[in-house]
Amino acid sequence: MKKTLLLSIALSSAVALAGTAWAAEQGRDGELRLLYWQAPSTMMPYLSGGTKELEASSIVIEPLARYDPDGKMHPWLAEEIPTVANGGISEDLKSITWKIRRGIKWSDGSELTSADAVFTYEYCSHPDTGCTSSNYYNDIVSVDAVDSHTIRINFTVAKPFPYAPFVGYNAPIIQAAQFDGCIGAKAQECTEQNFYPIGTGPFKVVDFKPNDVIVFEANELYREEGQPAFQSVLFKGGGDATSAARAVLETGEMHFAWNLQVEPEILNKMTEAGKGTIIAGFGTAVERLMVNFTNPNPANEEHRSEYLGGNNNRNPHPFLSEYAVRRALSLAIDRQILVDAGYGFAGKISCNVLPAPAIYASDANDECKTQNVDEANRILDEAGWIPGSDGVRAKDGVRLSILYQTSTNSVRQGTQAFIKEMWKAIGVETELRNLSASVFFGGDPASPDTYQKFYTDIEMYTNTFSGTDPETYMANWTCKQVSRKANTWGGGNMPRWCDPNYDALSAEMATTANLDDRIRLAKAMNDMLMQDYAMIPLIHRGGVSAFSNAVEGPRGNEWDSELWNIAEWHLK
């Protein structure tokens, strides 16, 4: 009896062992089916810059470090994240030294070395390559191979946040041997290399059909034992977001669908089928109203919406230059309605232009979270804006009549309509306007309808920044960045808001390395913008994806590729 018991225990543990051994085998889960309703047109992230291409290539080629869904950096091909404390960053902040993990193999069997990183820098910084991530390699003097697995990046200026080159899915390392002949103008003609890059990631490209489908196979040389769990990946592209959601949530044909910009009620209804789950990742994207501080009156001719200096005292906007009006406009908005109607899973109320990473998020502006029409009316009354016979407030012959533009998009038009009604309640008249996205965001200096020219009173769009460091992003609203004729409307400061105190904070941040100080500065800058209502934040926008209940692993990620941890995905 005892014997049989022992035997059965031994047997069952043997079975269990065999079970785990089997479970830990690479490729045990068959095919993973991903659906991106925008199809990737190339596998070369440096020649595209589009999110869809970055996502597709992220499962083949990898950077030294990646961001997780919380915006935290993790060493990927590197041994550790260099810091000043561990000696990886020099005291003067002008160089950073990365150690590449030893023993990492490219899928063709050769070893990943520092030469590949150096080559990647040369490739992307070559002026004729047309590299879409070249801004990740700005201010670099040289990238040196210290030894076979160590690189040092030397910067021209002190870089308090030196983690742009080789970090995140925008700046992965490509194989020097493969792209040797593809530098400069030749980059465009290397179709074979651009479609089938050799990588260090969990999968390798087997078949690439541009703008349609990509087939990946597990990379047998992948560094983690037993990963990836899937033998192959089918990466299908094209179609539209709604039917992509349907393919995961209703028919279950696909395992994962990306970027589902679908009305929340439709998504909710689809999840009732019980086949899939919706995940939202939140990055830094904020849908906001830009307030024009300059006068957009067409009679102004060449000075239309033109900043003429004097901290907004010359050529001021007839009424938006008044603090009380801007504050009232913000108070009158019920942001929760906007979230519920247009965004659902993909939106949260935001009172900051810098809502994330969490360490940078300020709580000093929470007033905006609740609508307060009475207070808004009181402010306007006090400021002398008296309702006329048509219900529209006016002062000294100036009526509170706003021209409000944005891009053509059903959610945006819905938001516009709500805000128009909300502003009507405080005696503000609003005229709505929408422009095709390719014109509005097209940046053609000859067109009067671009968001940069801003020939209206208010405009609405989303802006964001890549990576997790807000320094460059916050520098967008310095006086130097004012979008104007002199810089062919190339600056990032659309409100044309200018404050020397803000510029001073921005300059200070550019030379501060200590994280706590950087947080303090970023929050202060955000609060200045918010409390002066240079922008009126509305919604913190996230990315929404759906994944099948059969699969375990996907976590929304707005800081890096949504497929950043695909090696760990597996069937339940």
Partner 1 sequence: MIQYIIRRLLAAIPTLLVISFVIFALLDLAPGDPTGSLPMTVPPEVREKIRLSLGLGEAMHIRYYKWVVQFFINEPLNILQHSFGITIGDAENRTRILSWATRSPVIDLIVERTPQTLWVVGLSFLFGILMAIPIGIVQAYRQYSLFDQIGTFVAMVGFSVPTFFTGVVAIILFSVQLKWFPMIYDTTLEITSWNNFVLQVKQMIMPVTVLAFYQAAQLSRFMRASILDNLNLDYVRTARSKGRSENAVLIIHVLRNSLIPVVTLIALGIPTIFGGAIITEQIFRVNGLGQLLIIAIEGADIPTVQTLTFLFAILIVLFNLIADVLYGMLDPRIRYD
Q: Residues in the site for partner 1, rule: CB under 8 A?
A: 35, 39, 41-42, 44, 47-51, 127-135, 185, 187-191, 194-195, 207, 209-213, 215, 234, 236, 238-240, 243, 246-247, 250-251, 253-254, 438-439, 441-444, 447, 462-466, 490
Alpha carbon distances (Å) from 256 to 9, 244, 316, 460: 40, 9, 50, 31
Q: Kindly state the tokens that stand for 105.
A: 């193999």
Smallest distance from partner 1 to CB 56, Å: 12
Closest approach, Cβ 233 to partner 1, in A, equals: 12
The count of C-alpha atoms lying within 13 angstroms of the C-alpha of 205, restricted to the half-sphere facing its C-beta, is 22
Residue 189 CB, shortest distance to partner 1, in Å, is: 7
Q: How far is the CB of 215 from partner 1 (least distance, A)?
A: 6
Q: How many CB atoms lie within 10 A of CB 49?
A: 14
CB of 472 to partner 1, least distance (A): 9
CA 26 to chain centre: 32
Helices 515-531 and 500-509, axial angle in degrees (round to 10): 160
Task: State which residue, 384 or 490, has the beta carbon closest to partner 1.
Answer: 490
**In the complex, what is the shortest distance from the CB of residue 448 to partner 1, in angstroms, rounded to a whole number?**
12
Indicate the residue among 42 and 295 with the shorter CB distance to partner 1.
Answer: 42
State in angstroms the smallest separation of the CB of 275 from partner 1: 11
Q: How far is CA 308 from CA 486, 496, 506, in A?
A: 11, 10, 22
Q: Report d(CA 13, CA 466) in Å as an integer.
A: 49
By C-beta, is 292 or 476 nearer to partner 1?
476
Paired residues of 235 in beta bridges: 34, 214
E-assigned strand segments in 111-226: 140-147, 150-155, 203-209, 213-218
* Residue closer to partner 1, measured from CB, 91 or 240: 240
Least distance CB 322 / partner 1 (angstroms): 29
Of 203 and 385, the one with the shorter C-beta distance to partner 1 is 203
Question: Residue 187 or 544: which CB sits closer to partner 1?
Answer: 187
Nearer to partner 1, 152 or 186 (CB): 186
Q: Which helix (H) or strand (E) holds 236?
A: strand 232-237
Rank residues 56 and 78 by Cβ distance to partner 1 and give the closer one: 56
What's the rounded Cα separation, in Å, for the pair 169 and 2? 59
Q: For the packed helices 323-331 and 373-382, what is the interaxial angle rounded to 10 degrees?
A: 160
Q: Indicate the residue among 90 and 133 with the shorter CB distance to partner 1.
A: 133
**Cβ proximity to partner 1, 33 vs 518, nearer residue:** 33
Least distance (Å) from partner 1 to the CB of residue 42?
A: 5
DSSP symbols for 518-559: HHHHHHHHHHHHHHTTSEEEEEEEEEEEEEETTEE-----SS
Dihedral of CA atoms 511, 516, 521, 526 in degrees, nearest 10, equals 140
Smallest separation (angstroms) from partner 1 to the CB of 560:
13
- Using the Cα atoms of residue 33, residue 34, residue 38 and residue 41 in order, give the sign of their dihedral: negative
User: What is the longest distance spanned by two Cα atoms in the chain?
Assistant: 103
